[in-house]
């Protein structure tokens, strides 16, 4: 059992929790994730390690309430326990050698992008962060991003936060104004990542995306998290939990990933009527 | 005078129409009378051919002789000298290609039901005898076991009995390996596995779930924490796919995913949070135990039609004979000498069918079995909405890729000394599917035993 030592609402549908998990905290690297089960009989769901404190043995997760399990998790309070919490899983994000990078986060994807931006910043890389939200009430981690970015572009669909427009508009602006990035790291809804890659391909800037397919075990045993890369014209199957979650954005078959992501949509509607507002916001506009 | 009946005592079972709608155990087990009657079929052969067919050489005639006298606990004690998991192996061993294959009674008629008798003895013991667990004093040595499948559990148990402080690290939230996430309840009730695990805990074995070795901790870090030897029993969990078009459509599962959702995550129980597609028409590709289990689970989840699509013929089906028979009784349709060519989508990313080819058997291949070859122009479409791939698994590369100096075969199997299980790294042993590739429970258990012996020899200089 893993104790929740802190809980904070970041916006009406996004919550941060700090969980006591010394084994995970001891090894965690940005880009990795955990899998948790709220209670016995619950579903296993993956969440990114948003932050960790090796001394205190704690790991922070930031989750959006989208369905039954995240809803159940959100009902737990400080001092309560989570049944299972396993990690760190996945391959850490490669940040070696990057001197200047653009980090693009969409919606709750910002929670996944933040630890990467932080690591880049701490290793002396110039970080330009672009964060996009549907509207001001849904903004998360603004101050955190500010602290680790040499430049921060705020975007929103309705203009209530930063500039009105999509993250891709901001990124295009920066590139066209002559900013030269060693790499673009894009994390958010699949549609957003797809369009970021379309843009960066135009300018031939290497781009990493973070894939979040449906997972169960997270150890490479079920293949449920598989996705296709198109490499030299050939289709290659990869397992996001062990080969990823980061992939070369120019290789990912986003359309297939989007289709697979909707596999249990009808089943989950039962559990939770609302679909994710943030993700929907970006999807509608991309 | 032995019982000269040519037939085994029939196994009482749930009726096919009833059991294909529930997840309760299919085979109900012999009664005491049936067990004694079956035991009396054994001729107590001097040269014991059956024993040579058992991978762990259970003293078969000796235990059966006790059963014939009605001394079921005595029979259990004989078995327990060689096997740590008789209640499991009695149920799932492919007896027809092991012990029973060599039984002289099988020359004319059916062999003695050795597996069924073994199961009876183990179940009888579990029901009637509650031993106070023996918890030996610690000898101060710490051993780490990776994985809680049959190989890991056996290795842990044998070492704990010798006084070692054993910690088992398991990646999933429930220990048991394939016995828990793969083999379904109706073939191996989870309570049996649970009992084995409780027994180990009572002996002082620590089981740490949610620990992925290679991620949460590396093997080098285990040594750093004071473990003096490590046993790798991480199985062969990495599912293979066919690499045919359409394999990533919605509704295509690996058998591991499908079975994990059903067994480990209990998707079959009402109220489970874990979703599963309840296909109406399901094709399972493959012919082994895994394929049979997936097909029978799909049927129990309510599928109208379930096909086994296998590219060779009936004689080559690698599954246990009993499972094939049970699957047929439950109405699973066998499409033998058929091979998938492409999985067809419905335009929205879901499965609408599977294009297959007919095959014929040609010359024998490397495995000695006749190689299936495609019949040109024999394409046809099987009308299905769900496809489950059960075409094999290989060892997961996670441990290899995070352990320097651990040598493996090109296909991922860890290279070991066959007798001791010692790997290319000092103090690191391995066994079970992680070494052999997907095999059997009994072989995994035997490998766990052998490694426990070798670890004891390494650390104490004594024979176990
Ligand atoms: C490696 C990885 C890291 C992730 N990190 C985070 C994170 O840091 N914060 C966060 O809020 N979410 C993250 N996710 C997504 C998170 O796992 C899902 O939101 C969660 O599983 C939903 O569970 P649920 O039971 O509440 O919703 P469900 O009832 O299962 O689903 C509700 C809706 O969410 C969709 N959905 C289900 N699973 C996923 C998924 N894995 N990814 C995207 N959509 C999904 C469903 O199609 C459905 O529309 C991550 C996913 C992966 C694979
Ligand atoms: C569906 C199915 C049906 C089968 N039916 C039969 C049958 O009827 N008869 C028969 O004899 N055999 C059968 N088998 C095969 C048999 O189950 C296996 O050969 C046997 O379980 C192998 O045991 P093992 O101990 O090597 O590994 P496993 O049982 O595979 O256990 C390995 C364990 O290690 C854990 N693990 C893996 N990696 C790590 C890591 N990095 N860190 C920590 N833990 C890790 C896994 O989660 C798992 O729990 C079947 C297999 C399947 C899948
Ligand atoms: S363990 Fe398996 S092979 Fe050995 S006697 Fe028992 S059923 Fe036969
Ligand atoms: S071969 Fe058959 S009859 Fe002979 S001892 Fe073994 S089980 Fe008994
Ligand atoms: S989640 Fe099962 S293989 Fe990746």
- DSSP structural state of residue B13: B
d(CA B259, CA B178): 10
d(CA A109, CA A188): 4
d(CA B78, CA B65): 10
Task: Report the pLDDT averaged over residues B417-435.
Answer: 96
> Roughly what angle, to the nearest 10 degrees, separates helices A254-261 and A190-203?
170
Give the number of other Cβ atoms within 10 Å of residue A150's Cβ.
Answer: 11
Condensed to tens digits (0 to 9), the pLDDT of residues A93-128 reads 999 899 999 999 999 999 999 999 999 999 999 999
CA A236 to chain centre: 23
- DSSP structural state of residue B310: E
Among residues of chain A, what percentage have pLDDT more than 90?
A: 77
Question: Could you identify the residue written with the tokens 């029939």?
Answer: B10
User: What spacing in Å lies between the alpha carbon of B107 and ligand 4's midpoint?
Assistant: 11
Question: Distance, in angstroms, between A177 CA and closest chain B CA?
Answer: 40
Per CB-CB distance under 8 Å, the chain A contacts of B225 are none
CB contact under 8 A, A268 and B216: no
E-strand stretches of B204-280: 206-208, 229-232, 238-239, 252-254
User: What spacing in Å lies between the alpha carbon of B151 and ligand 4's midpoint?
Assistant: 27
The CA-atom distances, in angstroms, between B82 and each of A212, B59, B60, B154, B205 are: 47, 8, 10, 11, 20
Q: Comparing A194-198, A210-214, B385-389, B460-464, which segment has the lowest mean pLDDT?
A: B460-464
User: What spacing in Å lies between the alpha carbon of B58 and ligand 4's midpoint?
Assistant: 12
Average pLDDT score over chain A: 89
pLDDT at A284 over 90: no
Nearest to A114 by CA among A50, A170, A167, A62: A50
Which has the higher per-residue pLDDT, B249 or B272?
Answer: B249
Among residues of chain B, what percentage have pLDDT more than 90?
A: 85
- So what's the pLDDT on residue B239? 95
Average pLDDT score over chain B: 93
pLDDT at A283 over 60: no
Condensed to tens digits (0 to 9), the pLDDT of residues B254-309 reads 999 999 999 988 888 877 778 888 889 999 999 999 999 999 999 999 999 999 99
- So what's the pLDDT on residue A12? 87
pLDDT at B412 over 50: yes
Task: Report the pLDDT averaged over residues A52-70.
Answer: 93
Task: Report the pLDDT averaged over residues B68-78.
Answer: 96
Task: Report the pLDDT averaged over residues A240-250.
Answer: 95
Which of B62, B89, B320 for mutating ligand 3's site (highest number of atoms within 8 Å of CB)? B89
At residue A217 the predicted structure's pLDDT band, cuts being 50, 70 and 90, is very high
Count helices and strands in chain A by DSSP H and E runs:
10, 16
Q: Tell me, yes or no, if A229 comes closer than 8 A to chain B by beta carbon.
A: no
Task: Report the pLDDT averaged over residues A203-217.
Answer: 94
Give the number of other Cβ atoms within 10 Å of residue B27's Cβ.
Answer: 17
pLDDT at B9 over 80: yes
- So what's the pLDDT on residue A265? 65
Using a CB–CB cut-off of 8 Å, the residues of B that contact A are: 171-173, 181, 209-212, 215-217, 237-239, 241, 243, 247-251, 253-254, 256-257, 260-261, 265-266, 271-275, 277, 348-349, 396-398
Partners of residue A127 on adjacent β-strands: A101
pLDDT at B50 over 50: yes
Query: Helix (H, G, I), strand (E, B), or coil: what is residue A5?
Result: strand
Task: Report the pLDDT averaged over residues B196-209.
Answer: 92
Closest ligand 1 atom to the C-alpha of A14?
A: 11
Taken in order A265, A266, A267, A272, the sign of the CA dihedral is positive
Query: Helix (H, G, I), strand (E, B), or coil: what is residue A207?
Result: strand
At residue A268 the predicted structure's pLDDT band, cuts being 50, 70 and 90, is low
The ipTM estimated for the assembled molecules is: 0.89
- So what's the pLDDT on residue B2? 86
Query: Helix (H, G, I), strand (E, B), or coil: what is residue B66?
Result: helix
Condensed to tens digits (0 to 9), the pLDDT of residues B100-148 reads 999 999 999 999 999 999 999 999 999 998 877 778 889 999 999 999 9
Determine whether B337 is exposed, middle or buried from the number of CB atoms within 10 Å of its CB (0-12, 13-18, 19+).
buried
Give the number of other Cβ atoms within 10 Å of residue A63's Cβ.
Answer: 22
- So what's the pLDDT on residue B62? 97
Query: Helix (H, G, I), strand (E, B), or coil: what is residue A214?
Result: coil
Structure tokens at A132: 């996009």
d(CA A49, CA A67): 20
Task: Kindly report the pTM of this predicted structure.
Answer: 0.92
Task: Report the pLDDT averaged over residues A181-200.
Answer: 95
Give the number of other Cβ atoms within 10 Å of residue B44's Cβ.
Answer: 12
pLDDT at A273 over 80: no
Task: Report the pLDDT averaged over residues B68-93.
Answer: 94
At residue B428 the predicted structure's pLDDT band, cuts being 50, 70 and 90, is very high
A14 φ, ψ (degrees, to nearest 5): -125, 130
Ligand 1 residue neighbourhood (C-beta within 6 Å): A 33, 43, 45-48, 62-64, 66-70, 108, 111-112, 212-215, 245, 261-262, 264-265, 268, 271-272, 275-276
Q: Comparing A263-277, B313-327, B378-392, which segment has the lowest mean pLDDT?
A: A263-277
CA B234 to chain centre: 13
pLDDT at B423 over 60: yes
Task: Report the pLDDT averaged over residues B218-228.
Answer: 96
Query: Least CB-CB distance to A221: which of B210, B216, B238?
Result: B238
d(CA B291, CA B127): 32
Which has the higher per-residue pLDDT, B158 or B278?
Answer: B158
Q: Are B155 and B231 within 8 A, CB to CB? A: yes
Question: Could you identify the residue written with the tokens 């005595």?
Answer: B74
- So what's the pLDDT on residue B278? 83
d(CA B131, CA B396): 37
The CA-atom distances, in angstroms, between A283 and each of A184, A193, A278, B157, B419 are: 20, 11, 9, 54, 59
- So what's the pLDDT on residue A267? 58
């Amino acid at each position: 059992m893993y104790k929740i030592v802190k809980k904070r609402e970041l916006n009406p549908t996004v919550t941060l929790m700090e969980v006591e998990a010394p084994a995970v905290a001891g090894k965690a690297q940005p880009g990795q994730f955990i899998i948790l089960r709220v209670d016995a009989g619950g579903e296993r769901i993956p969440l990114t390690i948003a932050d960790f404190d090796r001394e205190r043995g704690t790991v922070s997760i930031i989750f959006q309430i989208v369905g039954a399990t995240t809803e159940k998790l959100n009902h737990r309070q400080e001092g309560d326990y989570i049944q299972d919490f396993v990690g760190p899983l996945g391959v850490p994000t490669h940040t070696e050698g990057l001197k200047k990078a653009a980090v693009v986060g969409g919606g709750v994807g910002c929670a996944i992008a933040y630890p990467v931006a932080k690591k880049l910043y701490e290793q002396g890389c110039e970080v330009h962060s672009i964060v996009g939200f549907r509207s001001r009430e849904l903004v998360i981690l603004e101050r955190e991003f500010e602290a680790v970015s040499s430049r921060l572009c705020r975007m929103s669909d309705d203009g209530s936060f930063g500039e009105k427009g999509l993250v891709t508009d901001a990124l295009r602006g920066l590139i066209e104004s002559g900013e030269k990035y060693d790499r673009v790291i894009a994390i958010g809804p699949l549609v957003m990542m797809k369009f970021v890659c379309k843009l960066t391909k135009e300018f031939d800037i290497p781009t990493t995306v973070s894939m979040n397919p449906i997972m169960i075990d997270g150890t490479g045993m079920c293949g449920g998290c598989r996705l296709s890369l198109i490499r030299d014209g050939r289709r290659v199957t990869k397992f996001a939990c062990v080969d990823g979650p980061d992939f070369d954005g120019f290789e990912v078959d986003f359309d297939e990933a989007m289709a697979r992501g909707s596999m249990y949509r009808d089943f989950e509607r039962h559990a939770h009527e609302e679909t994710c507002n943030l993700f929907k916001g970006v999807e509608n506009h991309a | 005078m032995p019982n000269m009946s040519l037939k085994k005592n029939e196994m009482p079972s749930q009726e096919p129409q009833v059991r294909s709608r529930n997840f309760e155990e299919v085979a109900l087990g012999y009664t005491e009378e049936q067990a004694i009657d079956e035991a009396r079929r054994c001729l107590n052969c001097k040269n014991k051919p059956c024993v040579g067919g058992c991978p762990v050489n259970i003293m078969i005639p000796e235990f059966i002789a006790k059963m014939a006298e009605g001394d079921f606990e005595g029979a259990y004690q004989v078995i327990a000298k060689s096997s740590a998991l008789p209640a499991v192996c009695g149920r799932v061993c492919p007896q027809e290609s092991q012990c029973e294959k060599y039984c002289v009674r099988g020359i004319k008629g059916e062999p003695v039901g050795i597996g069924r008798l073994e199961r009876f003895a183990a179940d009888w013991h579990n029901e009637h005898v509650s031993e106070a667990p023996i918890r030996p004093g610690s000898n101060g040595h710490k051993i780490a076991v990776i994985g809680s499948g049959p190989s890991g559990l056996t290795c842990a148990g044998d070492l704990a009995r010798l006084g070692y402080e054993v910690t088992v690290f398991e990646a999933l939230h429930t220990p048991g390996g394939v016995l828990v996430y793969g083999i379904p309840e109706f073939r191996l009730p989870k309570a049996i596995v649970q009992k084995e695990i409780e027994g180990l805990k009572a002996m002082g074995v620590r089981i740490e779930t949610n620990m992925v070795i290679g991620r949460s901790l590396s093997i080098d870090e285990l040594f750093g924490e004071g473990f003096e030897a490590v046993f790798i029993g991480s199985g062969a969990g990495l599912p293979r796919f066919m690499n045919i078009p359409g394999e990533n459509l919605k509704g295509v599962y690996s058998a591991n995913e499908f079975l994990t959702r059903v067994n480990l995550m209990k998707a079959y129980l009402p109220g489970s949070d874990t979703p599963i597609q309840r296909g109406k028409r399901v094709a399972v590709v493959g012919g082994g135990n895994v394929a049979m289990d997936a097909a029978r689970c799909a049927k129990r989840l309510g599928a109208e039609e379930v096909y086994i699509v296998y590219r060779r013929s009936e004689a080559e089906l690698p599954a246990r004979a009993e499972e094939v028979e049970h699957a047929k009784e439950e109405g699973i349709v066998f499409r033998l000498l058929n091979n998938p060519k492409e999985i067809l989508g419905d335009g929205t990313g879901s499965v609408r069918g599977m294009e297959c080819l007919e095959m014929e058997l040609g010359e024998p291949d490397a495995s000695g079995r006749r190689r299936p070859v495609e019949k040109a122009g024999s394409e046809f479409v099987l009308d299905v909405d769900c496809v489950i791939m059960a075409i094999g698994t290989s060892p997961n590369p996670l441990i290899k890729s995070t352990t320097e100096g651990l040598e493996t075969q090109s296909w991922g199997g860890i290279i070991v000394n066959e007798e001791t299980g010692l790997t290319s790294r000092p103090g690191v042993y391995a066994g079970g599917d992680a070494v052999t590739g997907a095999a059997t429970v009994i072989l995994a258990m035997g490998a766990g035993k052998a490694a426990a012996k070798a670890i004891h020899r390494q650390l104490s200089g004594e024979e176990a």
